[in-house]
Amino acid sequence: MAHSEAVVVVNETQVSYIGHDCEVIPDFLVANYGRFATRLDLSFNRLRSLTGLKAFSQLEELIVDNNLLGNDLRLPRLPQLHTLTLNKNQLTDIEGLLEHLQEVTPALEYLSLLGNEACPNQLVSLDKDEDDYQRYRYFVLHNLRRLKFLDSRTVSQVERAEADARGAFMKVVKPKAVQGCLPRVAISTMAGIQRAIVSFVITSSDRGMDRGMDRGQAYGRGLMKISCCTSLCIYLCPDAC
């Protein structure tokens, strides 16, 4: 699809190119605005890559909400970037993203990841609760220590202190699926563990009955199979209990 420069909105050093279904940053944006833009808004497109962003060397604010950016997202080094919003994309790996941002955005103070699976709240899953979200905040703040604002709220001094003390241990654990163990789900609260156990026991019981066991035998067998997995999840996430 051809993209027209006529639809670019420019206000001094602020450049907006919103809602045009582009999958990459158009060449004319790079050529005409890269050298002076300090704020770039590319929301409501279909971006899968930010190739070309290196030309925007003066960038201080980048808004790329409602795109298709995934875990392969790579930014150039942007030493002056203080604001980055990535709401409603396809990011799932929070640890990988934070490691990358540590390297390329040393001045980052405002970050928003709402609407991504990497940001565990009820916008993306009804299984998530405020405890899940708060652990995520501690983990992000532990890794990006200059942040003053995360998602929809300011970082408090109390929250910062907690992140410094415990944030490294707040990563959501996603155990791999193995035979006879829990399904591959991220369990970070006791409620989540309980829901997974109930589902798994029912499935195990049904399979056992298919093999000629009665309901009691099948149910007991299912409980025995998952006891080790439950203990592991509780060990990895002790604050969830």
> In this structure, what are the phi and psi dihedrals at residue 101, rounded to the nearest 5 degrees?
-65, -35
Domain ranges of the chain: 5-169, 190-240
Query: Smallest Cα–Cα separation from 83: which of 146, 28, 158, 125?
Result: 146
What are the CA-CA distances from residue 62 to residues 41, 76, 83, 100, 112 (Å)? 6, 12, 6, 16, 11
The whole-chain average pLDDT of the chain stands at 79
What are the CA-CA distances from residue 82 to residues 39, 85, 119 (Å)? 10, 10, 20
Question: In the Cβ-directed half-sphere of 150, how many Cα atoms lie within 13 Å?
Answer: 22
3-state SS, residue 74: coil
Query: In the prediction, which pLDDT does 131 show?
Result: 86
DSSP tally for the chain: helices H, then strands E: 6, 8
Burial class (CB in 10 A: 0-12, 13-18, 19+), 20: middle
Evaluated on CA atoms 15, 21, 24, 30, the torsion sign reads: negative
CATH 3.80.10.10 fits 5-169, yes or no: yes
The residue among 232 and 101 whose pLDDT is bigger is 101
Residues 42, 49: Cα–Cα separation, whole Å: 12
pLDDT reading at 43 higher than 50: yes
Task: Return all residues near 113 (Cβ < 8 A) that are at least 6 apart.
Answer: 86, 87, 91, 94, 97, 119, 151
Q: Quick: pLDDT tens for 175-233.
A: 344 444 444 344 344 445 445 444 554 455 455 545 565 555 554 555 444 444 444 44
pTM tops 0.75, yes or no: no
Helix residue spans in the chain (DSSP H):
27-33, 94-104, 130-143, 157-166, 190-210, 215-236
Query: In the prediction, which pLDDT does 4 show?
Result: 61
User: Residue for token digits 């279904």?
Assistant: 21
For 167, the token pair is: 């944030």
Residues 239, 189: Cα–Cα separation, whole Å: 8
Answer for the pair 180, 225: CB distance below 8 angstroms, yes or no. yes
Q: Quick: pLDDT tens for 103-156.
A: 999 999 999 999 999 999 766 666 777 888 999 999 999 999 999 999 999 999
For 193, the token pair is: 């563990």
**Total residue length of the chain:** 241
